[in-house]
Copies of this chain bind each other. A is one copy, B any other.
């Protein structure tokens, strides 16, 4: 906050060398939450363990008064209340979501922002109705190019007051697996996940899955709102226009084995055979393989990847890898690959710290005769 009470305009700042996380970033970390990585054990992530990122406040939306407008470059604008939406054909899809900023806090230099380490993920069973038939009923005009989705959440970013809004290319919006969602894991959508209705764009980073959805506007021109034109762009230099963030890059995560130290989160385990387990995904293409290293990336072993479920192509996939844990210090590393190649071992850096899929590194101490503090 500035002394004049004005919000800073301009670009996001990079943290200086050795600069710790500030109270502003901490406020974002304590409000929002990641998925504790031991929750990789759940095929479907329970609410409260699934990651949440809210740009502004969780809005209070009265489901009884809620209605969705479908408007803009359409022949027949529509307005549907919640009952009307829920009477439409419903499908349930298990879909992996990941925040575009996942991994940001480990980049060097560190882009200031929501300081995610690696936990900004989750995989839920989302229930809703496909968007495409609704757009067909509204009659998208031939000039249409983008669709803008607006939420009820209201706030300020870099001096710009706004309702959260994201544009999607028309071809993406018309994909049959893009849903208007009112249910999560068999229960009504919780407030923090966008109640009463959110968008689901399987394969894309979280910023596309607009929560607390109120308005779908078909545009005959490219959407130039803040969340597409300023935020969520890959830039190396501040002055660049940058490349928009779209689909989720491949990633594998390991459920850290053993038990932790409360404060340092250092991991300890007993010697002997252990099965390393985790999940892998890609929003670009099917995952083609997962590899595990127990020596910091010097050598790699293929993990056994669970078969893809044809009914849920956007779900994460379980993997396992046996390991004979010998006493001493080890660094576990995992990487997934899709048709475009594996995750990078070195950091893929950009100024906003988005779409960064640098590999996870898990240092562990395998105990011998001594105790953890011995």
With a cutoff of 8 Å between Cβ atoms, the chain B residues found around residue A38 in the complex are 57-58, 60
With a cutoff of 8 Å between Cβ atoms, the chain B residues found around residue A58 in the complex are 36, 38-39, 49
Q: Is the CB of B33 within 8 A of A261?
A: no
Q: Choose among B7, B22, B117 the residue that contacts A373 (Cβ–Cβ < 8 A).
A: B7
In the complex the two chains form, what is the Cα distance from A262 to B164 in whole Å? 11
Given contacts A20-B21, A117-B26, A261-B155, contact A36 B47 (CB under 8 A): no
Q: Is the CB of B9 within 8 A of A329?
A: no
Residue A151, interface by CB 8 Å: no
With a cutoff of 8 Å between Cβ atoms, the chain B residues found around residue A340 in the complex are none
Residue A190, interface by CB 8 Å: yes
Residue A323, interface by CB 8 Å: no
Q: Which partner residue on chain B sits nearest A19 by CB separation?
A: B20
With a cutoff of 8 Å between Cβ atoms, the chain B residues found around residue A9 in the complex are 373
Residue A176, interface by CB 8 Å: no
Q: Choose among B25, B54, B161, B261 the residue that contacts A7 (Cβ–Cβ < 8 A).
A: B261
Residue A48, interface by CB 8 Å: yes
With a cutoff of 8 Å between Cβ atoms, the chain B residues found around residue A49 in the complex are 58, 190-192
In the complex the two chains form, what is the Cα distance from A191 to B192 in whole Å? 18
In the complex the two chains form, what is the Cα distance from A55 to B266 in whole Å? 13
Q: Is the CB of B190 within 8 A of A46?
A: yes
Q: Distance (Å) between the CB of A196 and the closest chain B CB?
A: 14
Q: Choose among B20, B159, B373 the residue that contacts A6 (Cβ–Cβ < 8 A).
A: B373
Number of copies: 2
Q: Is the CB of A264 within 8 A of B30?
A: no
Residue A363, interface by CB 8 Å: yes
With a cutoff of 8 Å between Cβ atoms, the chain B residues found around residue A36 in the complex are 31, 54, 57-58, 192
Interface hits, A185-243 → B, CB 8 Å: 187, 190-193
Q: Is the interface of A mostly helix, strand, loop or mixed?
A: loop
Interface hits, A14-38 → B, CB 8 Å: 19-34, 36, 38
Q: Which partner residue on chain B sits nearest A255 by CB separation?
A: B57
**In the complex, which of the residues A31, A34, A192 has the most CB atoms of chain B within 10 Å of its own CB atom?**
A31
Q: Which partner residue on chain B sits nearest A41 by CB separation?
A: B60
Q: Is the CB of B156 within 8 A of A261?
A: yes
In the complex the two chains form, what is the Cα distance from A116 to B268 in whole Å? 26
Residue A88, interface by CB 8 Å: no
Q: Is the CB of A8 within 8 A of B264?
A: yes
Q: Distance (Å) between the CB of A8 and the closest chain B CB?
A: 7
Residue A298, interface by CB 8 Å: no
Q: Is the CB of B115 within 8 A of A161?
A: no
- Please name 5 further chain A to chain B contacts, defined as beta carbons within 8 Å, in addition to the given A21-B23, A36-B54, A36-B192, sorted by A numbering: A30-B119, A49-B191, A57-B256, A159-B372, A187-B187
17 CB < 8 A contacts A-B: A26-B29, A28-B265, A29-B29, A30-B117, A31-B33, A47-B47, A48-B190, A49-B190, A57-B260, A113-B263, A155-B262, A156-B260, A156-B372, A158-B373, A159-B372, A159-B374, A161-B259
